[in-house]
Amino acid sequence: MMIALFVVAAYLIGSVPFAVLVSKAFGLADPRSFGSGNPGATNVLRTGNRLAALLTLLGDAAKGAVAVLLAHAVGPHGFDATMLPMVVASVGLAAFIGHVFPVFLGFKGGKGVATAAGVLLALSPWLGLATLLAWLVVAVLTRYSSLASVCAGVFAPLAAVWVIGFRAEVVAVAAMSAILVWRHTGNIQRLLAGTEGRIGEKKAPATPGQ
């Protein structure tokens, strides 16, 4: 029961739609109504408001980090030490799923890149930084956020095995990576077709399915 409560709480934290909330606070259009239609920082950036995009990015990352850090802080008082890695892994994955399938947005959320980054940083700063570096290198070289995200998603489980070892957290990282890559299926198709938008492009009407 305690684990279930932790997981539900993490899911609800992950479901908080920072892209929609920040856009509303800044008087911007709902990010689901333009560009990719994705409620995430990259799409908010298409409005040209960099501060709004940055706050969205930080908020989405904080959701994953806070969920994991709370599990680390509270878990030892309610669980046997041998169970803590499983609890932390479950909570991190739940926060990520909350962002991708948020109850507050009718289960239609973002692709989970920033939230996954927050989870990784909380699991291990070295793992998080290595994955962010992988994302940054690809993003700078190509200016494709989606390609950088897919590459970072493939890289993360391999880095997790190296940094953490074969523990429950690695299973959660692998699951997040699989979902993240799956959520980018449309982007991958557009990358292959040469029609994918680049970082910083201005907003356009939302295209269903993007």
Write the DSSP string, 37-70: ---SHHHHHTTT-HHHHHHHHHHHHHHHHHHHHH
- Which stretch of DSSP H or E encloses residue 74? helix 50-78
Question: Looking at residues 179-202, what average pLDDT do you find?
Answer: 87
Question: Looking at residues 161-167, what average pLDDT do you find?
Answer: 89
Q: What tens digit of pLDDT does each residue of 170-185 get?
A: 999 999 999 999 999 9
Q: What tens digit of pLDDT does each residue of 102-133 get?
A: 999 999 999 999 999 999 999 999 999 999 99
Q: What tens digit of pLDDT does each residue of 8-59 get?
A: 999 999 999 999 999 999 999 999 998 778 899 988 988 889 999 999 999 9
Q: Is the pLDDT of residue 210 over 50?
A: no
Amino acid at 182: W
The domain limits of the chain are 2-193
CB distance 201 to 146 below 8 Å: no
